[in-house]
Amino acid sequence: MLSLIKGFKQLLAGANAVIETVSVQHAMQMAAEGNVQFVDIREPGEVASGTIPGAVHVPRGLLEFAADPESPMHKPEFSAGRKLVLFCASGGRSTLATKTLTDMGFTEVCHIAGGFTAWKAAGGKVGEPG
C-alpha cells in the first residue's frame, strides 16, 4: 500500500489555514455589488447543468495556465483587477485552487464554502454556461 507524506485532508487543512473562504451569503452579496469575477473550476460535464451568471469557466487542471499572463492560454478575466471568487461543486477543489493562485501571487482571491451545491441550495441565481 502506498504511504503518502500528505493526504488530501492535510492539503486541505494547510490551504484553509492561509486562504480566504467566504460564505454563500457573502458571495451573493459580492455578486450584487459587482467588481468580482467568479471562476468555475468544475469539469465541463459539471458546468453543463448551469453555473453562476457571469462566471468564467476554467477547469481545475488548466487553472495555472489561464491565470498566468505569460501563458498562451491566459484568460484576461484573471488580469481585470477584480477579486477572484472560485468555486467547484462542494468546495474541496476550489480550496486547493485558491491556494494555488495565492502561491502564484494573487492577493485578491477567495473561494465559496460549499461550492456551487451550496450556492444553489441557498437560492443563488443559476445561468447557462458561457
Q: Where are the domains of the chain?
A: 19-121
If you search the block for the grid coordinates 495555472, which residue do you land on? 64
Position 3 scores a pLDDT of 77
Q: How many CB atoms lie within 10 A of CB 117?
A: 15
Position 1 scores a pLDDT of 73
CA-nearest of 49, 85, 48, 78 to 62 is 78
| 73 and 85 Cβ atoms separated by less than 8 Å | no
Chain mean position to CA 30: 14
| 76 and 58 Cβ atoms separated by less than 8 Å | no
pLDDT along the chain (130 residues), means of 10: 84 96 98 95 96 97 98 96 98 98 98 98 91
User: Looking at domain 19-121, which CATH architecture does it have?
Assistant: 3-Layer(aba) Sandwich (3.40)
**pTM, rounded to two decimals:** 0.94
Alpha helices in the chain (DSSP H): 8-16, 24-33, 44-47, 63-67, 92-104, 115-121
Position 70 scores a pLDDT of 97
Distance between CA atoms of residues 13 and 8, nearest Å:
8
Position 129 scores a pLDDT of 79
